[in-house]
Chains A and B, each alone.
Chain A
Amino acid sequence: MTGYSTAQVWMIIAAMGVGTFAIRFSFLGLLGDRQLPDWLLRHLRYTAVAILPAMVTPLVLWPQATGGQLDAPRLAAAAMALIIGIWMKNAIAAIFAGMGTLYLLQYVLS
């Protein structure tokens, strides 16, 4: 890691640790057993299905491994993982389907 001193890297680690804990503990710590309003709970139900696809989008469309170029095997692998995951309701099956598709296409196309 050039560009950062050892102390600076540890400072980054410590600050990320404290910040991440504060985020994770936030409502658990402050709210106790108070009830959250319905409208807030209704929004919270869609946190995972909104943020995870958003986070995945650039990784699938512009993968770093191909220098940010659209890559057919990776696109197909992502589609397969999504289809199998929705169809079988099984995350592990989806991972195997996705990575299997990627390995197969990379083997066939290379």
Chain B
Amino acid sequence: MAAASPKSLYWKGVRTAAPFLLMVTPFGLLFGVVATEAGMPLAQIMGFSIVVIAGAAQFTALQLMTEQAPIIVILASALAVNLRMAMYSAALAPYLGPAPLWQRALVGYLNVDQTYALSIMEYEAHPQMTVAGRVAYYLGVATPICPFWYLATYLGAVLGSTIPPAFALDFAVPITFLAIVAPAFKTLAHVAAAVTAVILAVALSWMPYNLWLLLAALAGMIVGAEVERRMGRTRMRPS
């Protein structure tokens, strides 16, 4: 079978990611709304969304800024929340490593939860994809997601206070994270990793500076990997 062309893979990526606008948009709106209500000017709100593109880290920074935290604590906490993306980078490296540097840099800039998750699933399902095809698919997935992150932030900042609190947009954040992760519970190892991380997130919640998050996640990963090693790798169910 001939490999799909990069162009067709780009459009496949766009189509696959399009429904995820439903989760990116409320997220971005919410950041715009919350930041505006915290008194941040539009230019800085947009600066966050364009320069950083990381919802959870942006919310972390915003929260700590409203608490008047020291700048070093803000940066350490927000970057700690983003450390998971080093894992995304490592997971993508075997697939995208041979691509030219500028393409890898572009993928790095666009490397957010959704683009990573959707792309890696495609790469695992189709090991025969060419490197150019993988990059094209990645850019396709990012096309609806990243620009709409900017746009939604802008709309949130402008419309801000007109969204009634009855919409409980605050809870769209955890609901979105749960919705992203739930379909990934494919094996006992995945469930064991998640349960471990949740228990430690509660047990270590007294720790300052988001350290609990890093330790809980690390422990979850170790438990997941160990369960997998003992059970032998089970085939992933096609989703």
Contacts and interface: CB of A to CB of B under 8 A. Distances in A.
Interface stretch (B1-9, B143-151, B155-163, B183-191): B183-191
Given A28-B107, A106-B166, A49 B184 contact: yes
Given A1-B39, A55-B56, A24 B88 contact: yes
B171 A94 contact: no
| Most chain B CB neighbours (cut-off 10 Å) among A3, A29, A51 | A51
A10 B193 CA distance: 37
Contacts of B48: 13, 16
B71 interface: yes
Contacts of A81: 175, 178-179, 182
A94 B101 contact: no
Contacts of A49: 181, 184-185, 190, 193-194, 197, 220, 224
Contacts, number: 290
Given A16-B52, A51-B220, A57-B202, A24 B89 contact: yes
Q: A-side binding surface: helix, strand, loop or mixed?
A: helix
Contacts of A74: 171
B151 to A, nearest CB: 19
A60 to B, nearest CB: 5
Interface residues of A, number: 77
A92 B23 contact: yes
A8 B221 contact: no
Interface string B58-89: 00010001001001001100110111111111
Interface string B204-219: 0100000011001111
Interface of A: 1-4, 6, 8-17, 19-21, 23-29, 31-36, 39-61, 63-65, 74, 77-78, 81-86, 89-92, 94-95, 98-99, 102-103, 106
Interface of B: 19-20, 22-23, 38-40, 44, 47-48, 51-54, 56-57, 61, 65, 68, 71, 74-75, 78-79, 81-94, 96-98, 101, 104-105, 107-109, 111, 113, 117, 166, 168, 170-185, 189-190, 193-194, 196-198, 200-202, 205, 212-213, 216-225, 228-229, 239
